Structure 1
Amino acid sequence: MEVKIGVQHAPREIILESGQTAEEVESAVSEALSGTSQLLTLVDDHGRKVLVPSDRLAYVELGEPTARKVGFGTL
């Protein structure tokens, strides 16, 4: 699933492809925003961890991954 994270005072958003389900990502975000956790921690498809301080979160957008089009054919 594709996750976009907006960070306050940062010019670019963080975009990652995660193997986690939407419910897992949503629960991690709600824990970070409720004060249970100081960091929003997500893992991407390559096993890398993304850590964002919970007080700097601007928004989190969840979506399905976009299919890559390969080849030279016309649609």
Structure 2
Amino acid sequence: MEVNIGVQNVAREIALETDSSPAEVSKAIDAALAEGGILRLTDTKGRELLIPGRALGWVLVGESEKSKVGFGQI
């Protein structure tokens, strides 16, 4: 699943592929925002991303779109 994160006062967004479910990611975001803690997400390669909850600008949680290959109908 793909997660895109916007951090306050940073022009670039963070894109992350994770094996976590959308519910797990949403729960982690809610906890970081409510408690003023740290958002901890692990990507598909096992690396951990840590972002302070107070620095989160926005988060987009959703399935990654598979790119189509070949000649298809438009």
User: Scaled by the length of structure 2, what TM-score is found?
Assistant: 0.90
CA displacement at 1:66 relative to structure 2: 1.6
Report the aligned-residue RMSD. 1.2
Query: 1:7 maps to what in 2?
Result: 7
Q: Does 1:74 find its partner at 2:55?
A: no
The alignment of Structure 1 onto Structure 2 pairs a total of residues equal to 72
Query: 1:45 maps to what in 2?
Result: 44
Rounded Cα–Cα distance in structure 1 between residues aligned with 2:48 and 2:68: 27
Q: Secondary structure of 2:60's partner?
A: strand
CA displacement at 1:48 relative to structure 2: 0.6
1:50-65 matches, cutoff 5 A: 50-65=49-64
Rounded Cα–Cα distance in structure 1 between residues aligned with 2:71 and 2:67: 14
User: Scaled by the length of structure 1, what TM-score is found?
Assistant: 0.88
Q: Deviations over 1:11-54 (max 9, x none)?
A: 1010011100001000000000001x621000011111111111
Moved more, 25-34 or 37-46: 37-46
Runs of 4+ residues over 4 Å off in structure 1: none
Identity %: 43
CA displacement at 1:64 relative to structure 2: 0.5
Structure 1, unaligned stretches of length 5 or more? none
